[in-house]
Copies of this chain bind each other. A is one copy, B any other.
Amino acid sequence: MFSFSEENYLKAIFHLERKYQAGVSTNALAEEMETKASSVTDMIKKLSEKELVIYKKYQGVKLSELGDKTAIQVIRKHRLWEYFLVEKLNFNWDEVHDIAEQLEHIKSEKLTQELDKFLGFPKRDPHGDPIPDAEGNFSVANKMLLSELGKAEKGICVGVKDSSSEFLRFLDKNNISLGKEIKVLEKEAFDGSMLILIEERELRISQLISNNLYIKIQ
């Protein structure tokens, strides 16, 4: 089917399309893939020949229907494996991403379906991201960033924007995890920091933190 590299590019384009609906630029892709712009151009040409992306020179890329479908299947596998690692193999949520980066490329439709069934058809991965079903459908939750909340408002923690080990371990250390309620007690206009209430604890967090925590308001 497709190579690891091709699948990784499709996934990257998929994610970047949310931010750049008009088309994903070569440089944006290069940064996301941690590679050089010239390498991106080469790969885009190949993806274009395989009809996975729509590409016109100097105009950026978009996923074709096939590219979109393929990207979603890779993301489905990535998130199912992350769920498996956390729920069945006792991994912490900060340890699973790199292993899922490998597992997402295993080619077997049946494996994916059986894994999904074995896990009980989970709807969200350990970081709160939706897991597409076999048909590629997934619900986009109406979440917002904690930083968007005003004083005295509250919400339930439902996901992370930054899912780096560093950030996740910071959250662990401060006992912040998905499902918990957070109330904004104070908001400092000067630096954007806020004082929050979580499980009867008061905690001061910087804007960098509140900018990377998704919450849902009731």
Binding site for B on A (CB under 8 A): 85, 88-91, 95, 98-99, 102-103, 106-108, 110-111, 114-115, 118
Instruction: Name the contact of A88 in the complex, choosing from B99, B108, B118 (C-beta under 8 A).
Output: B118
Q: Interface majority SS on A: helix, strand, loop or mixed?
A: helix
Total copies of this chain within the assembly = 2
Chain B: minimal CB distance from A107 (Å)? 7
Please determine whether A118 and B99 come into contact, CB atoms closer than 8 angstroms: no
CB contacts (< 8 Å) of A115 on chain B: these are 89
Please determine whether B99 and A108 come into contact, CB atoms closer than 8 angstroms: yes
Q: Which 4 A-B pairs have the closest CB atoms?
A: A89-B114, A99-B108, A102-B106, A99-B111
CB contacts (< 8 Å) of A90 on chain B: these are 114
A95–B110 alpha-carbon span in the complex (Å): 10
